[in-house]
Structure 1
């Protein structure tokens, strides 16, 4: 089996998703969406008269993101096993994983920081800064993950399978 073909096959289709349909990219939408919304809530908490509900909402969105990130990480870890070691794709995947683990740890710390304090108003500068830094790091890591999929084709269907989608309607080949 060639190395690029190996990186397209799941280690476990039941756990990582079937060929050409990995679970990891689907699951990352949970933490990305939750953390993006938490940043919006944090910023909005600085702009409204009664910011408490936004500050609390941001804290719980961060928690949802951390829980979602754990699920995405498990599926992503399985995808990592499909990539041949010693390749550019593998090194890039390790960087992607490391950044995501750091981001998740930062958001977990942010949640614990917020949860340990009584929310009375707008988000404090420290948790807001940590939220923004975490989200910027997440954006870099997401770009690297996109490069793994769209540049190196990790866990996507091979070109022969993709070509089926470009056969004129009504023809089989």
Structure 2
């Protein structure tokens, strides 16, 4: 299966080792042992909070596509795109804190690619929102489609990170 091969190949992308190591070290040093660390990692919940927060932008952007293609409602699609964008900072913050806890090389690589494809997705949705605000609905839809494609790739990488590599799985957060 090609998808499985692509996901496994992500584990070998050594070009991200240096940058992801620096990001993980910087984030780790900035928040280690602080209340911010405990909140962003989910100590109050008993498990990582990142998987919960990512559902907001994913759901909003998927519903925006439904508003475009099923209901032909560009105003609702624009608003939902904005809601998804508003939730991105929280998802990024929790994701970076989770990334800083990864020590296994393959997991860090996949985590870096997951973050990068999410960044591409977010930029696409930001472009979509901007185009829609200017009345360029068709261009906004095109950017959303690219965002959905990137979001799907990011989700596949995130799933691979959790389920195939076991990052964060079965770990209670103190």
User: How would you bin the TM-score normalised by the shorter chain?
Assistant: 0.7 to 0.9
CA shift, 1:45, in A, is 4.7
Query: Gaps (5+ residues) in structure 1?
Result: 1-9, 47-53, 162-173
Equivalents in 2 of 1:15, 1:24: separation in Å?
8
Equivalents in 2 of 1:68, 1:14: separation in Å?
16
**TM-score of the aligned structures, taking structure 2 as reference length:** 0.72
Task: Tell me which residue corresponds to 1:152.
Answer: 165
Equivalents in 2 of 1:153, 1:14: separation in Å?
22
Is 1:100 aligned to 2:118, yes or no? yes
Equivalents in 1 of 2:71, 2:129: separation in Å?
16
* Aligned match for 1:40, one of 66, 72, 91: 66
Structure 1 segments (4+ residues) deviating >4 Å: none
Whether contact under 8 Å (1:103, 1:134) holds in the other structure is yes
Equivalents in 2 of 1:100, 1:145: separation in Å?
10
CA shift, 1:127, in A, is 1.8
The SS at the match of 2:169 is coil
Deviation digits for residues 50-92 of structure 1, max 9, x if unmatched? xxxx10000010000011122111100100000126x011011
* Aligned match for 2:103, one of 75, 84, 105: 84
Count of aligned pairs between the two proteins? 137
* Larger helix percent: 2
Task: Tell me which residue corresponds to 2:87.
Answer: 68
Is 1:17 aligned to 2:42, yes or no? yes
Q: 1:20 to 1:140 in 2, by over 3 A?
A: farther
Equivalents in 2 of 1:142, 1:113: separation in Å?
25
CA shift, 1:156, in A, is 2.0
Q: Of the two, which has the highest radius of gyration?
A: 1
CA RMSD of aligned residues (A): 2.1
Equivalents in 1 of 2:144, 2:40: separation in Å?
31
Whether contact under 8 Å (1:35, 1:62) holds in the other structure is yes
CA shift, 1:105, in A, is 1.1
